[in-house]
Structure 1
């Protein structure tokens, strides 16, 4: 193995729980419950799907909303919640261990580069990565493999020479389609999803030795 490639949202920092919570609170203002199972279908991709949060809320209350007002209010709540988040357990140890082993380190995120840079900076991890591959740099979002293929290209490696770390089904599908050994590390939003496509599933990177992961990936 020559590289570790990490998803960002929900994998390095749990931005997904704060985002869901901000939407849940917004829905509650209108007396509507936001089902977690419905929300989970969106995680890990920016590709439009059957569920669009504003449209779904409008369908439940039977009228149009001032989306800009809602967006501003909800985003403020979300950003406050994200600001309190730290790197997920095991992330910093894996970054340090990867560097000690001479592995390249990259991010492959469906989110836009400014978002990823901002939140990596907030947790003092931006400089730990050799490259960022983000959703605004590719044509297709996860579950298409584009962003993982871009990360491998930036690192100058073949996709099979990287281990991908993901928290979502869309992300796992993308990494596997790119030809990477893929580890699923679910967060509270995705813990109940089916990750059978992943090569390995663990509750936390803190409970998985990097050397063992490399061995399982074929060295």
Structure 2
């Protein structure tokens, strides 16, 4: 058996194909409070914590005026589309491959509890993962490293434990860098390879299944 590593995996967009639904949910939520923004701009923010999106879209003034209402509506829009969201190719295979290597596995989600539970059930992963996080576990969301640090704490591991992150957005990769974790990226976030590399990704693959097949060439070998 190899030396045990803690694998910290993002769920939304990395294991579950949900990014474009989230972008549409933000579009509808902002439109409901009188703010119409191009969907492509909103998509660029997916992966960032929902508590930061409205400020990123329109600054502190917009956050002050509509932030809470927009987030409340966005959660409703996501819930209405959650049945459309499905695991990405090889997502469960990656979880199984990581566990078969003898590593510990925690899913680092900033989703609400109900969403995280739905995604874990879609992955049929309750008997595979060691633990998972939700938005209730942190005050500062990605690209802050807090979510990844909490993921380690959930396993009783120190902050300097040998760990690797797998994510799909530059926000995931930046959070991992701040947490001192090497980060593997998948392209399902819609970011360019140059952006992911600039953020600090050590390897980039098309799908979770591709990561599983190439595991021996990654820090999770």
* TM-score, shorter chain, exceeding 0.5: yes
Look up the match of 2:40.
Answer: 36
Distance 1:179 1:169, change over 3 A: same
1:131 equivalent in alignment to 2:137 = no
1:161 equivalent in alignment to 2:162 = yes
Return 141-150 or 192-201, whichever deviates more.
192-201
Return 16-25 or 106-115, whichever deviates more.
16-25
Cα deviations by residue, 1:5-33 (Å, 9 ceiling, x for unpaired):
11111112122211223445678899x56
Give unpaired runs (5+ residues) of structure 2: none
Q: Cα RMSD between the aligned structures?
A: 3.3
Look up the match of 1:18.
Answer: 21
Separation of aligned partners in 2, 1:25 and 1:88 = 24
- Residues 6, 164 of structure 2: 8 Å contact kept: yes
Query: Number of aligned pairs?
Result: 205
Distance 1:147 1:214, change over 3 A: farther
Does the residue aligned with 2:153 lie in a helix, a strand or coil?
helix
Cα deviations by residue, 1:24-57 (Å, 9 ceiling, x for unpaired):
5678899x5624134412433234233169x97x
Separation of aligned partners in 2, 1:135 and 1:24 = 21
Give unpaired runs (5+ residues) of structure 1: none
1:217 equivalent in alignment to 2:219 = yes
What's the offset of the Cα at 1:79?
3.3
Where do residues 173-192 of structure 1 align in structure 2 (5 Å cutoff)?
Answer: 173-187=174-188, 189-192=189-192
Query: What is the TM-score with the length of structure 1 in the denominator?
Result: 0.76
Distance 1:204 1:119, change over 3 A: closer
Which one has the bigger helix percentage? 2
1:50 equivalent in alignment to 2:52 = no
Larger Rg: 1
Separation of aligned partners in 2, 1:140 and 1:28 = 26
